[in-house]
């Protein structure tokens, strides 16, 4: 950890840029608010703080080789770990009761920790963490699919016929109906002809290999069904 030279410093800075860039490219590919440049700068900044602590400790060790002066390692790094939360919070958005950006915020915090590791010279640990982060961001969701409970809004006509079709579809695909809210409205259809439009709001639990897109695609094939969409609340 002592006796850092310029070569070591440049290697650590280059490794921080590389690690942050790898994570950032994946985030930018998915059009997330914190892309390649943000992740590179976060990782590089954390690396600089860790290098600063290493250089300060090296300088104090050179000035007092007997160890008469105490030096606490980690205070600056601790400020990075806590302070990066403000940057991560800026990537979290709430729109239409839906929260997005949590994964990007978490990846920024992890990138900062990787930068600290690289700054302290723990290349292999940082490299392993970088691989694990990529696996989590890219591969894990494809291997482990978790269907969160959502609400599906279905608007339709011809109540008896269409409800039988919907219930049969859910039963065949092991989709559990946890709750149903319904609404009926009357609309004019031509000269003084009225028809009822039914809206059912289903709260569903899906099997692991079934998605809400499958529901929308299948139900929309029925000519009596006018609208199929998911809702978070």
Q: What is the pLDDT of residues 206-228, one digit of tens each?
A: 887 788 888 888 998 999 999 99
Average confidence (pLDDT) over 16-39: 84
**pLDDT, position 107:** 86
Average confidence (pLDDT) over 43-58: 86
**pLDDT, position 31:** 74
How long, in residues, is the chain? 233
Is the pLDDT at 4 greater than 80? The verdict is no
Percent of the chain with pLDDT over 70: 84
**pLDDT, position 79:** 82
Distance CA 182, CA 197 (A): 11
Per-residue confidence at 188, pLDDT binned at 50, 70, 90? low
Average confidence (pLDDT) over 114-142: 87
Per-residue confidence at 15, pLDDT binned at 50, 70, 90? very high
**pLDDT, position 1:** 45
Per-residue confidence at 118, pLDDT binned at 50, 70, 90? very high
Distance CA 138, CA 130 (A): 12
Hey, which of 25-39, 151-165, 187-201 has the most confident mean pLDDT? 151-165
Domains and CATH numbers, the chain: 6-143 (no CATH), 150-231 (3.30.70.260)
Within 10 A of 127 (CB to CB), how many other CB atoms are there?
A: 17
**pLDDT, position 193:** 64
Average confidence (pLDDT) over 72-94: 76
Average confidence (pLDDT) over 172-199: 80
Backbone Cα Rg of the chain: 27
- What mean pLDDT is reported for the chain? 82
Q: Counting Cβ atoms within 10 Å, is residue 126 exposed (0-12), middle (13-18) or buried (19+)?
A: buried
**pLDDT, position 141:** 67
* CA distances, 28 to each of 23, 25, 38, 131 (Å): 9, 5, 10, 17
Average confidence (pLDDT) over 43-71: 78
Q: What are phi and psi of 206, to 5 degrees?
A: -100, 145
């Amino acid at each position: 950890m002592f006796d850092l030279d310029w070569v070591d410093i440049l290697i650590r800075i280059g490794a921080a840029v590389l690690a942050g860039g790898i994570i950032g490219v994946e985030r930018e590919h998915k059009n997330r608010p914190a892309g390649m440049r943000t992740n590179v700068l976060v990782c590089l900044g954390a690396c600089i703080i860790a290098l600063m602590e290493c250089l300060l400790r090296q300088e104090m060790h050179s000035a007092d080789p007997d160890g008469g002066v105490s030096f606490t390692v980690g205070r600056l790094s601790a400020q990075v770990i806590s302070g990066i939360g403000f940057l991560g919070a800026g990537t979290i958005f709430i729109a239409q009761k839906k929260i997005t950006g949590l994964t990007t915020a978490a990846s920024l915090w992890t990138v900062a920790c990787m930068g600290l590791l690289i700054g302290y010279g723990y290349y292999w640990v940082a490299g392993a963490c970088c691989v694990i982060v990529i696996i989590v961001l890219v591969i894990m969701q494809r291997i482990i699919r978790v269907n969160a409970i959502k609400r599906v809004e279905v608007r339709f006509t011809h109540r008896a016929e269409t409800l039988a079709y919907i219930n049969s579809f859910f039963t065949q695909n092991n989709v559990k109906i946890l709750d149903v809210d319904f609404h009926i409205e009357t609309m004019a259809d031509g000269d003084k002809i009225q028809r009822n439009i039914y809206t059912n709001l289903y709260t569903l639990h899906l099997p692991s290999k079934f998605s809400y897109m499958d529901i929308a695609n299948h139900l929309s094939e029925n000519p009596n069904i006018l609208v199929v969409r998911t809702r978070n609340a």
